[in-house]
Chain A
């Protein structure tokens, strides 16, 4: 009797430790089980779940388990879990994060295995194919491009008399076109927010990126994976910051707490963010239209990134599992039009041209932006550099630094970041 207590303790310890072991490779019914990690916290998770469900019911050899991870520390989790050999079989990554993941030695090249599953990389437009290439190897399969675009609440715009006969907003492609449009909205509807966007943060950075490259800005870094030079054009960076700064406190109220909510509640005429919001507004029954950020300056350019599917390194991976992974990725790629319902633009040219995509509202109108997206440079410092740039722009837009001083601070921060 005396020993029974020890057994209970031992049993508990075993139970605790077994909690640490990895999840099973196969299902009870013998199907191969693949873990698929996603960070989709916007409106797009349910569309991806539908695709995975469809894949699981389309065949009976492989079961894909979609696992939602918290966005804030998604990449940290990917890195640590793969290091501990407990990583997923497939994961989502932004194209911009690939160099950093690749440099950590976490990614398998995918070209050979995907070609084996019948996916031809020539079906992608060049800029998107290039976005997944690091040091001459393809490390991911892009599934979409998600540019930064403009949304207009058509009910409010109509009330303000800012729609043409076709019911579309007409914004002039001149340096003052955008601000004129929202100044008119402000005058017509003084109780509404003309343009909703957060004062600091990633969306302001996306807008600045758009304007900077439209003004003819040079890339932020030279394409050197580990020791990039800063090639940012200081003067154009300042001009772009100045241009955006003029909107704040005028047609954009300062420090809106949740600008998605402002637009969704029908209190803003316009808002700017990534295309994933299209699916959200559709679900919210909002009368709106979506369009590219008007080209106000000389160069056609847009900010954007791509969701891509990566295959993390595994210590032991049978060719059977590899094949299952490739087939699933190929399936997701083929379902690009389904994924586009979330608002994204399919990565593959043949999917963009399909009637399934072309028949969806709005998307075809902004699909052309995909080819104008200026992707980030291939350096391992891209993510921390983005944080530096967001912070410096934040200082400018909140009136704590002049555009000159803010961009100088940005350059200084980038120099510190890339030195380490």
Chain B
């Protein structure tokens, strides 16, 4: 390898600088600003007195915080496994060498490019009682009931998770699909020579080869699910009551409807700590070398 001179070292700097400035300004700086805010009484308008850990202590005894935290955890528990397994299933389908391959790939991925407001309003429209297409279809196949999808806590969760799956599973599917296509053909050829069945090939070759990307997807999915916000805000606004209010929605309400930025910042930092711990655990469990990929 050629030895680099300082001039070569500096060459990428101008290219990186533009992004670096934006990154510091819009990501790094707000992280520290937010931490500062969490130690102050801070309204939407002005910084007030320093109050140390008071916000953190209040958050920990706030029943609304724990309820919202529980709601978010429920969402993570329910959505993460379905999201990963469904993505794998769809990726396997989209990888089949059939005439429908392009159709599968396109139709699984298209919802991901829609904006959250579009999918939310489509969902609300479809899930209406009396007039919505979902209830009308169910009644057409003989269901003698009028389920209130968005007004019953359990059904509201089912709706939110189904909408989220439909909307975002395409992205995970693409990751799986890429990994599937990266599995060397020789492995399958060798297995065929050895007389392995298709099932054996799937369990012994395909799945182990997908494990690294699977771990990455799991980590990203847990982080993404903990940050669930926009579709719930738009579809149920945390309702019925507060049964589907996730932690970010509560942070948003405290910050931008109650104008209590200090309190909202303190909750954000508690969430940040939880995500940090979860990520570290997952990274430690990932592979012998403690690496993700």
Contacts and interface: CB of A to CB of B under 8 A. Distances in A.
Contacts of A387: 253, 257
Interface stretch (B79-87, B127-135, B199-207, B273-281): B127-135
Given A104-B44, A395-B241, A416-B64, A255 B129 contact: yes
A384 B46 CA distance: 20
Contact of B131 (A75, A257, A400, A420): A257
Given A398-B240, A400-B240, A79 B62 contact: no
Contact of A391 (B43, B151, B241, B257): B241
Nearest to A83: B45
B243 to A, nearest CB: 9
Interface string A397-415: 0101000000000000000
A412 to B, nearest CB: 8
Ordered nearest first, which 3 A-B pairs have the shortest CB separation? Answer: A257-B128, A83-B45, A255-B148
A391 B249 CA distance: 15
Given A383-B257, A398-B151, 11 more contacts: A73-B256, A76-B256, A79-B45, A104-B43, A104-B44, A200-B239, A257-B128, A257-B130, A398-B148, A398-B152, A416-B63
B44 A256 contact: no
Interface residues of A, number: 29
Contacts of A200: 151, 239-240
Given A255-B129, A384-B257, A398-B151, A80 B44 contact: yes
B124 to A, nearest CB: 8
Q: Chain B: interface secondary structure?
A: loop
A76 B44 CA distance: 9
B121 to A, nearest CB: 13
A190 to B, nearest CB: 15
A116 interface: no
B166 interface: no
A253 interface: yes
Contact of A420 (B58, B151, B152, B257): B58
Contacts of A51: none
B291 interface: no
Nearest to A258: B128
A394 B240 CA distance: 7
Interface of A: 73, 75-76, 79-80, 82-83, 100, 104-106, 199-200, 253-257, 383-384, 387, 391-392, 394-395, 398, 400, 416, 420
Interface of B: 43-46, 58, 62-64, 128-132, 146, 148, 150-153, 239-242, 253, 256-260, 263
Contacts of B260: 420
A255 B44 CA distance: 36
B156 to A, nearest CB: 11
A83 B256 CA distance: 13
A104 B129 contact: no
Contacts of A383: 257
A336 B256 CA distance: 33
Contacts of A256: 129-130
Contacts of A392: 241
A357 B67 CA distance: 50
Contacts of B62: 416, 420
A383 B260 CA distance: 14
A5 B263 CA distance: 46
A391 B263 contact: no
Contacts, number: 70
A104 B240 contact: no
Nearest to B260: A420
B255 to A, nearest CB: 9
Contact of B258 (A80, A83, A254, A384): A384
B240 A395 contact: yes
A390 to B, nearest CB: 9
Contacts of B242: 391
Contacts of A253: 130
B129 A257 contact: yes
Contact of A400 (B44, B46, B153, B253): B153
7 contacts: A75-B257, A384-B253, A384-B257, A387-B257, A395-B241, A398-B152, A416-B64
A394 B239 contact: yes
Contacts of B64: 416
A394 B245 CA distance: 15
Contacts of B129: 254-257
Best-surrounded residue of B64, B131, B151, B153 (most CB of chain A within 10 A): B151
Contacts of B151: 199-200, 254-255, 398
Contact of B148 (A80, A82, A254, A384): A254
Contacts of A199: 151
A198 to B, nearest CB: 10
B251 to A, nearest CB: 14
A105 B131 CA distance: 47
A254 B148 CA distance: 9
A104 B44 CA distance: 9
B240 A79 contact: no
Contacts of A416: 62-64
A416 B58 CA distance: 11
A194 to B, nearest CB: 15
B59 to A, nearest CB: 10
A326 to B, nearest CB: 25
A259 to B, nearest CB: 11
A355 B195 CA distance: 97
A11 B260 CA distance: 39
A53 B257 CA distance: 33
A160 B45 CA distance: 57
Contact of A394 (B63, B130, B241, B253): B241
B122 to A, nearest CB: 14
A74 to B, nearest CB: 11
Contacts of B128: 257
Nearest to B129: A255
